[in-house]
Structure 1
Amino acid sequence: MNFTILIFLSLFCGLIMAEDGVHALGTGTISEKHSCSPDMCELMKEFGIMRQKLGVLETSLKDSDTRLKNSENQILELKNNERPMIVFSAAIGGDGNIGPFNTDTTLVYRAVKTNIGNAYSKITGIFTAPVEGMYYFTFFYHARGAHPAVLILMRNNHGVVMTGDHSTSSDGADNGGNAAFLQLQRGDHVYVRLFADTHVWRNGFITTFSGFLVGHV
């Protein structure tokens, strides 16, 4: 639209200049310099000022668009780097002994205290990492001293750390636990396994399994 107006004004001014040249030739004089009428020249001047202002506005809009895109990229980066909240803590509910079993058995902690992120299953007793990152896990047990107790923290099918106590006739009860930092990939499984021919005592407070995400990549 601006270029159309400019072309029209230029042609109009050119016609006036040509007309002035014809009049000059008819009178027998030659003018070395031609100009628009005062009104037209003033209009051309105002139009030039307007074009400069539009150019400044266009530059400002481009700068604003660039800053907006940079802000959007920064927000997206912050969202990507934001650490999700993944925390769980559960205890073995009920009452009495769990075990001994003939084979190693995954313990299922059904009394869930916290499960933010829903990464722990109270049906299987398995924590499934929802994102890649560094996690921290703890597990504790209580057992009668007359029976052995051996528990091991598992990542997928591999043991990580363990805790336990052998049976004694003079010790009425035993308590133990362990903890570990684990670098997990998404979908990795972490759980606690009770060794064969051992036992732990269950209730809603004393034999527990907990973990949380420290940081993700």
Structure 2
Amino acid sequence: MSGVLAGLKVEMRFLHEEQAAKLAEQAAELLTIKSRANTTENHVNALTREGEVKRVAFSASLLTSGEATIGPFNTDINLIFRNVVTNVGNAYNPNTGFFTAPVRGTYHFEFYIGGHGHPSHANAAVLVKNGDPVFAAYDHQTSGFANSANGVTLLLEVGDVVFLRLPQNTRIYDNQNHQNTFSGNLLFIM
């Protein structure tokens, strides 16, 4: 009987060691799975943030209501497009008129201007990037209504600012028909 008992003790010790080895193996496998899950979660979060940043588009007109002729002034003034129709990503600020790039990428901008003809004053607007003029829309008629437009695709760095400026001695007119608009969108991240 003692021989059988000794054999059972050896067999139990062997089973215990085998179980301990399996538990250690399972613990190591669990750590690997947890590590992979954390990596996957971080990757998903990064892709989600990147996807949110990829959604940048705005479109605004000059006036929210009423009608007005803006200008002429004896100096350049920054135009503020207050009637925001779309502002996905909130990169356009309707209080300053500034679009600020949230991510390095290629952006496309379009602007349309209009105003009544005048013998001495043209209708004009200049797209400005970080204080430097890029493209202008310009039309000078002595009577009637004049329209002009322009657009540009720019590579912007994070924090670059784009806005429209009314050049000195020019003017534009806007009303409920929203003839003066400024729009932009992110084409792709660089």
TM-score range for the pair, normalised by the shorter chain length: 0.7 to 0.9
Q: Do 2:124 and 2:171's aligned partners in 1 also have CA atoms closer than 8 Å?
A: yes
Within-5 A mapping of 1:168-183: 168=142, 172-183=144-155
Distance in 2, matches of 1:126 and 1:48, equals 70
Aligned to 2:59: 89
Q: Do 1:91 and 1:203's aligned partners in 2 also have CA atoms closer than 8 Å?
A: no
Compute the TM-score of the two structures, normalised by the length of structure 2: 0.81
Three-state SS of the structure 2 residue aligned to 1:37 is helix
Distance in 2, matches of 1:87 and 1:43, equals 70
CA 119–65 in structure 1, closer or farther in 2 if over 3 Å, else same? closer
Aligned to 2:167: 195
Aligned-partner residue type, residue 163 of structure 2: Y
Three-state SS of the structure 1 residue aligned to 2:164 is strand
Aligned-partner residue type, residue 104 of structure 1: D
- Deviations, residues 80-121 of structure 1 (Å, cap 9, x unaligned): 533423322211223132112112221122222222333323
Three-state SS of the structure 2 residue aligned to 1:81 is helix
Aligned to 2:184: 211
Within-5 A mapping of 1:57-206: 57-84=26-53, 85-93=55-63, 94-146=66-118, 147-168=121-142, 172-204=144-176, 205-206=178-179
- Of stretches 128-137 and 156-165 in structure 1, the one that deviates more from structure 2 is 128-137
Report deviation, 1:189. 1.8
Task: Considering fraction of residues, name the structure with more strand.
Answer: 2
Aligned-partner residue type, residue 137 of structure 2: T
- Of stretches 147-156 and 42-51 in structure 1, the one that deviates more from structure 2 is 42-51
Distance in 2, matches of 1:196 and 1:65, equals 64
Report deviation, 1:164. 0.9
CA 96–38 in structure 1, closer or farther in 2 if over 3 Å, else same? closer
Distance in 1, matches of 2:134 and 2:98, equals 15
CA 71–199 in structure 1, closer or farther in 2 if over 3 Å, else same? same
CA RMSD of aligned residues (A): 2.6
Three-state SS of the structure 1 residue aligned to 2:179 is coil
Q: Return 5+ residue gaps in structure 1 as ranges.
A: 1-15, 17-35
Three-state SS of the structure 1 residue aligned to 2:93 is coil
Aligned-partner residue type, residue 53 of structure 1: K
- Deviations, residues 49-79 of structure 1 (Å, cap 9, x unaligned): 3234324423432332332233134224424
Q: Do 1:128 and 1:189's aligned partners in 2 also have CA atoms closer than 8 Å?
A: yes
Identity of aligned residues (%): 36
Q: Return 5+ residue gaps in structure 2 as ranges.
A: none
Distance in 1, matches of 2:25 and 2:41, equals 24
Aligned to 2:20: 51
Bigger relative contact order (CA 8 A; separation at least 6) = 2
Distance in 2, matches of 1:143 and 1:192, equals 16
Report deviation, 1:162. 0.9
Task: Considering fraction of residues, name the structure with more helix.
Answer: 1
Q: Larger Cα Rg: Structure 1 or Structure 2?
A: 1
Q: Do 1:150 and 1:198's aligned partners in 2 also have CA atoms closer than 8 Å?
A: yes
Q: Do 1:86 and 1:119's aligned partners in 2 also have CA atoms closer than 8 Å?
A: yes
- Of stretches 192-201 and 115-124 in structure 1, the one that deviates more from structure 2 is 115-124
